């Protein structure tokens, strides 16, 4: 298995909703990442998990809450989002941290209404 699987592919949520994005990989990768991508922009790093521990939080608002239950799973819990949080959320994994190259999932397209 050489893929990163993200669910759901599309999500529409209200500003008072709580939802979660899920990411799964079975490549034995030890680093996992959340990125946010707005239209016609490059991906922006949000969080990095290394060996199931949060190693980087790029000053992301607390309405985004990451969780890494085990080495294969990564979640992003969403609560009280704003319309400007609408974007493509990408998960990625890599063999290890340090620029080895990422495998990206196909993303969750989130719309906040």
Partner 1 sequence: GDSVTQMEGPVTLSEEAFLTINCTYTATGYPSLFWYVQYPGEGLQLLLKATKADDKGSNKGFEATYRKETTSFHLEKGSVQVSDSAVYFCALGNRDDKIIFGKGTRLHILP
Residues that bind partner 1 (CB under 8 A): 6, 31, 40-43, 45, 48, 50, 55-56, 88, 90, 92, 97-107
Largest CA distance in the chain: 39
Nearer to partner 1, 78 or 90 (CB): 90
Give min distance, CB of 50 to partner 1, in A: 7
Taking the complex as a whole, the smallest distance from the CB of residue 16 to partner 1 amounts, in Å, to: 28
- How far apart (Å, rounded) are the C-alpha atoms in residues 55 and 67? 12
Nearest distance in Å: CB 60, partner 1 = 14
Q: Give the contacts of 62 (CB within 8 A, at least 6 positions apart).
A: none
């Amino acid at each position: 298995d050489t893929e990163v699987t993200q669910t759901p592919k599309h999500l529409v949520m209200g500003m008072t909703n709580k939802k979660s994005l899920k990411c799964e990989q079975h490549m034995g990768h030890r680093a996992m990442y959340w990125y946010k991508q707005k239209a016609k922009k490059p991906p922006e790093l949000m969080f990095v998990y290394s060996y199931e521990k949060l190693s980087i939080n790029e000053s992301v608002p607390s309405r985004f809450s990451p969780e890494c239950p085990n080495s294969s799973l990564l979640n992003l819990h969403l609560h009280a989002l704003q319309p400007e949080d609408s974007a493509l959320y990408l998960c990625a994994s890599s063999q290890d941290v340090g620029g080895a190259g990422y495998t990206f999932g196909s993303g969750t397209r989130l719309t906040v209404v």
